[in-house]
Chains A and B, each alone.
Chain A
Amino acid sequence: MLIDYLPVLIYMLIAVGLVGVIVLLSELLGKKRHTPAKDMPYECGMDPIGDARHRYTVRFYVIAMFFVVFDIEAIFLYPWAVIFKSLGWFGFVEMLVFIGILVVGLVYVWGKGALEWE
């Protein structure tokens, strides 16, 4: 069972090593000459003003929250999808109810105006 995934792990380890070597090689090959201006964050040639990590709009949080809800829902649906043919009408109706609840949620969020960016 789990041994089936061992090759994936092996493959991943080799890949990590390889990418590491590529980065390390270019680190060694390239020249290094520091100047104060070069080490500054790029901001169209001017000295950077303040820190880059500002507070950002709360809408990103809202989108992230919706994503978690709908993504988990998609994860629940995948096992259903793969055995759908052998489930019969009961499986269909059951998922219809599940998706129906989510669609009600989407309609509610839509109506509340949470999907508007303005």
Chain B
Amino acid sequence: MEQLTQFSATELARMIAGLIGVIALVSVNALFLIWMERKVAAHMQLRPGPMEVGPHGAIQTIADAVKLLGKELITPEEVDRPIYLLAPIVVFLPVLLCFLVVPFSQSLIIRDMNVGIVLILAFSTLTVLAILMGGWASNNKYAVFGAFRSVAQNIAYEIPLLLTVMSIILMVGSFRLTDIVAAQSRYWYIFVQPLAFILYIICATAETNRTPFDLPEAESELVAGFHTEYSGMRFALFFLAEYTNMFIVSAVGAVLFLGGWRGPILPGIFWFLIKVYALIFLIMWFRWTFPRVRFDQLITFAWKILIPLAFANLLITALVLKL
């Protein structure tokens, strides 16, 4: 009991401070990423993008966010009210929980847990539940189609993702994210596991529903996909979760393959953020490089190419480690 009281005072403070930090990061990151997405898209198409609000349109997204806050929350009549209202909360919660174990630098981590990577993988899977809840409860044809596609896609790409991450775990022998970074003191794992990195980036793009795997919300066929019936702040939560998921998959990618916070001269946090945003830029680049895949291509690509490759990579890693 004494242990409990002693622990709770400091731990509680750490948790609250951590959560405030995470909320700040999530909001600033989303505002920045939306602006970045627009600018990257614009410059790749040789146009300037948003320019009016602030220098180079830098505070355009803040204006948009304020507008969203004041918007009316429309709840259509035929929805399953409890599930419909719960979905935006369920989609946003795992996103906040994933940050619990993300190591921004040597010491800048809310809680360094020995199950770190498993915790992130477990919580990020909950997103698909929220998408199904939102899509099904909306009672809208586009939303239901979007939700079905999203579930099929997310579970298909979950397996190669798990197997790819496992090949890194084999080399480190620990789930702790700080251990994974520490194991890369001599070389980054991207150099010894290039295939794993490629597989990871493909799966991460699919898991975050980004182009070329953005079938769940393909604008030209499904209006807005699973969040067609959401408006105002509820829509904003889906949107926030989507952009924060991009940050999380890139952060995990940076930890697993790019040596996390390691780098010369600059403090660790800067290196970590540089690597994360470089990976995010890569994912944004994909959007303007590859056309959207067909649904049958999407599923067969995961089962016939990615899963056998991930198995092969895992077994070769295990064999090399044993030799």
Contacts and interface: CB of A to CB of B under 8 A. Distances in A.
B15 interface: yes
Contact of A89 (B14, B78, B173, B322): B322
Most B CB contacts (10 A, CB to CB) among A10, A63, A82, A115 go to A82
B139 to A, nearest CB: 5
A77 interface: yes
Nearest to B319: A92
Given A11-B18, A15-B19, A99-B315, A115 B92 contact: no
Contact of B169 (A44, A82, A92, A117): A82
A40 to B, nearest CB: 6
Given A10-B15, A67-B159, A26 B300 contact: no
Contacts of A20: 89
Nearest to A9: B15
A11 B141 contact: no
Contacts of A84: 170, 173, 318, 321
B233 interface: yes
B138 A22 contact: no
A23 B89 contact: yes
Interface stretch (B188-196, B208-216, B278-286, B301-309): B301-309
Query: What band does the interface of chain B fall in when counting residues whose beta carbon is under 8 Å from A?
Result: 35 or more
A84 B311 CA distance: 16
B142 interface: yes
Interface in A95-112: 95-96, 99, 103, 106, 110
B155 to A, nearest CB: 4
Contacts of B143: 52
Contact of A85 (B8, B234, B321): B321
A18 B92 CA distance: 11
A118 B100 CA distance: 43
A52 B144 contact: yes
A25 B236 CA distance: 13
Contacts of A54: 141, 144
Which 4 residue pairs of A and B lie closest in terms of their CB atoms, listed nearest first?
A: A26-B233, A117-B296, A67-B155, A74-B162
20 contacts: A11-B97, A12-B97, A19-B237, A26-B69, A27-B73, A30-B73, A41-B139, A42-B228, A43-B142, A48-B141, A52-B140, A60-B151, A64-B155, A71-B162, A77-B166, A82-B175, A92-B318, A96-B315, A115-B300, A115-B304
